[in-house]
A and B are shown apart, each in its own frame.
Chain A
Amino acid sequence: KQEVTQIPAALSVPEGENLVLNCSFTDSAIYNLQWFRQDPGKGLTSLLLIQSSQREQTSGRLNASLDKSSGRSTLYIAASQPGDSATYLCAIPTTDSWGKLQFGAGTQVVVTP
């Protein structure tokens, strides 16, 4: 059974620093990996979806890398801003069901001005 882990659970950085968020998974036979952002009291916003054949995916200040062999994905956020404060979750489709996602518990990020 796929297990998804995100460490650390919480992270605080000063504005302007680069953010590095980690996601690890136990089964390397994945179709893709999706990163989400969740603001307090809100739903999940899709940030990036990286296919299993890709090594990385970029969108603006966000860059996600994927290393299936080591069971890791990293989300980089360049030049962090207070508006980046949120919880970031990674998720992987399970191979036993159509698109069902297995989520990590998330990393709560606070960017201080």
Chain B
Amino acid sequence: EAGVAQSPRYKIIEKRQSVAFWCNPISGHATLYWYQQILGQGPKLLIQFQNNGVVDDSQLPKDRFSAERLKGVDSTLKIQPAKLEDSAVYLCASSFGGRVGGELFFGEGSRLTVL
């Protein structure tokens, strides 16, 4: 069974530039999550989708971050304009979903460096 796919794996940009990350979840998984992981810390949820609807985006900096999950399958996370503090690994995860959630499966992550 294919896992969660993410691209690109690495991206280096200058501050104020824009960047986009793509995620394709495990087939059949209704719930998709984007997490931000800063070096030395545990992942922090940015946004959670149930099918193509947003369940939780309370920690998403909406002035610069946006995400969409058209057709309830793959998803794109965009940052515009990027700041130095956005340097982190962006992890996509998926699960079958439901009120309790169930086991989460993560992709390899996209490492962003903002200079």
Shortest C-beta distance, A66 to chain B (Å), equals 15
Are A99's CB and B42's CB within 8 A? no
Say yes or no: A43-B42 contact (C-beta < 8 A), given A32-B100, A99-B101, A100-B33: no
B101 touches A98 (CB 8 A): yes
29 residue pairs A–B, Cβ–Cβ below 8 Å? A31-B100, A31-B101, A32-B100, A41-B111, A43-B4, A43-B91, A43-B109, A46-B103, A91-B104, A93-B100, A93-B101, A97-B56, A98-B50, A98-B56, A98-B99, A98-B100, A98-B101, A99-B33, A99-B48, A99-B100, A99-B104, A100-B101, A101-B101, A103-B42, A103-B43, A103-B44, A104-B42, A105-B40, A105-B42
Residues of A within 8 A of B (CB): 4, 31-32, 34, 36, 41-46, 49, 89, 91, 93, 97-101, 103-106
**Closest residue of chain B to A104, judged by CB?**
B42
Contact B40 A99 (CB under 8 A): no
Contact A44 B48 (CB under 8 A): no
Give the interface of B toward A (CB within 8 A).
Answer: 4, 6, 31, 33, 40-45, 48, 50, 55-56, 91, 93, 95, 97-109, 111
